Chain A
Amino acid sequence: KQEVTQIPAALSVPEGENLVLNCSFTDSAIYNLQWFRQDPGKGLTSLLLIQSSQREQTSGRLNASLDKSSGRSTLYIAASQPGDSATYLCAVKGNYGQNFVFGPGTRLSVLP
């Protein structure tokens, strides 16, 4: 059974810092991995999708990498802003079955 963990659980940084969020998964037989952000009481917004054949994806100040063999993904946020404050979730989709398995999330606070 796939299990997804995220480190750290919470992170507080001053504005302008670069930061890295970590996601680990136990079963490397994944179809893809996706990063989301969730604002309090809201739904999830897709940030980046990495297919299993890819090593990384970039969107603006965000860069996500994938090392399938070691069961790890990182989300790099450059020049953080207060508007980046949210909970960041990673989810993996296995090669078998249709559903996604979510990590517990990292709660990020960027202080002005």
Chain B
Amino acid sequence: SAVISQKPSRDICQRGTSLTIQCQVDSQVTMMFWYRQQPGQSLTLIATANQGSEATYESGFVIDKFPISRPNLTFSTLTVSNMSPEDSSIYLCSVADVDRGTEAFFGQGTRLTVV
């Protein structure tokens, strides 16, 4: 299995500010994803982080609001920009690798509260 370290684990932020979440994996992986889980809801995919190129965003999510970086095969960041209370959610980093049957692994998540 892959071990994923996600930071911070939680934060309380003022509206209008930005927060960058980091995801570090203990081995190289082909696929990295960012999900959002709103209170009481299931997971919604924000984007696929592509190494060395722009992320692929799902419908309803845009780069200006959720810029993503992936400089190498073990690290990615997600920024939540110009935050509002509606952005309060758990944000989850996930990885999968074709050499491991594309089994998905998750970080422990970042619980974000915007006040």
Please count how many residues in chain A sit with their CB below 8 Å of the partner chain's CB atoms: 22
Which stretch (A12-20, A70-78, A101-109) binds chain B?
A: A101-109
Main secondary structure of the interface of B (DSSP, over half): strand
Q: Are B42 and A104 in contact (CB under 8 A)?
A: yes
- What is the CA–CA distance of A102 and B42 in the complex, to the nearest angstrom? 7
Q: How far is the CA of A103 from the CA of B108 in the complex (A)?
A: 19
Chain B residues, Cβ within 8 Å of A98: 31, 33, 48, 96
Asked whether, in the complex, the Cβ of A51 is within 8 Å of the Cβ of B108, the reply is no
Chain A, interface SS category: strand
For window 75-115 of B, CB contacts with A under 8 Å fall at 90, 92, 94, 96, 101-109, 111
Q: Are B102 and A43 in contact (CB under 8 A)?
A: no
B90, B103, B104, B106: the one within 8 Å of A41 (CB)? B90
Q: Does B13 contact A (CB under 8 A)?
A: no
Contact residues of A between 21 and 61, Cβ < 8 Å to B: 31-32, 34, 36, 41-46, 49, 51
Q: What is the distance, in angstroms, from B39's C-beta to the closest C-beta of chain A?
A: 10
Asked if B42 contacts A105 (CB within 8 A), the reply is: yes
Which residues of the other chain, B, contact A51 by a CB distance below 8 angstroms?
101
* A100 pairs with B104, CB closer than 8 A: yes
Chain B residues whose CB sits within 8 angstroms of the CB of A44 once the complex forms:
43, 92, 94, 106
Q: Which residues of B contact A45 (CB under 8 A)?
A: 106
Mind listing 8 A-B residue pairs with CB under 8 Å? A31-B102, A41-B90, A42-B108, A46-B1, A46-B103, A46-B106, A91-B104, A100-B33
